[in-house]
Amino acid sequence: MSDRIKAKTTVVTSVGFVLFQYQYDLPDPIDSLNPIGNFFRRSHFHKATQRYFDDLVENRRLPDKGDVFELTTAGRSLTIKVLGRLINYQPSHLSLELMRLDEAIKDRRRQRINSQSASN
């Protein structure tokens, strides 16, 4: 029996922050994976749903409450349902610091990849 996951993600838009509440059914664990492998698999699915919302907002209109999307990742199809959307969301100071740190890590990673490809 798969687990129904309820999650939230904050997305940066051109006019501010939007908080999305959504749910998806997590595929069953794979028996051939140990608990750590299934943990990483579960983490992959969750991160994929968050990236999907980033891409949605960047390339399309903001999803509305009740919208349903299909996401295929790691060979599995996930059905994502938007439960709520809060426009003009004001994240806490700590959340903003964590978002800045996350962006700084992504920028460093991109710089490292670009410098490695330039040296090759």
Please tell me the total count of domains within the chain.
2
- Work out the angle at residue 64's Cα, subtended by the Cα atoms of residues 11 and 50, and round it to the nearest 5 degrees: 35
What pLDDT, on the 0 to 100 scale, is given for residue 120?
66
What pLDDT, on the 0 to 100 scale, is given for residue 99?
84
Are 28 and 69 within one domain? yes
Question: Strand pairing of 16-26 and 3-13?
Answer: antiparallel
Are 40 and 15 within one domain? yes
Answer whether 26's CB lies under 8 Å from 45's CB.
Answer: yes
What are φ and ψ of residue 100, in 5° steps?
-65, -40
What are φ and ψ of residue 31, in 5° steps?
-60, -30
Are 41 and 73 within one domain? yes
Are 80 and 114 within one domain? no
Are 68 and 113 within one domain? no
Domain that holds residue 98: 91-120
Tens of pLDDT, residue by residue over 67-102, are 999 998 878 889 999 999 999 899 899 988 988 898
What is the spatial order of strands in the sheet that 3-13 belongs to? 3-13, 16-26, 76-89, 68-73
Report how far residue 111's alpha carbon sits from residue 34's, in angstroms, rounded to the nearest whole number. Answer: 35
Give the model's confidence band at 1: pLDDT under 50 very low, under 70 low, under 90 confident, else very high.
low
Tens of pLDDT, residue by residue over 11-32, are 888 778 899 999 999 888 889 9
Are 66 and 104 within one domain? no
Percent share of the chain, pLDDT over 90? 45
Q: Is the model's pLDDT at 2 over the cut of 80?
A: no
Are 69 and 115 within one domain? no
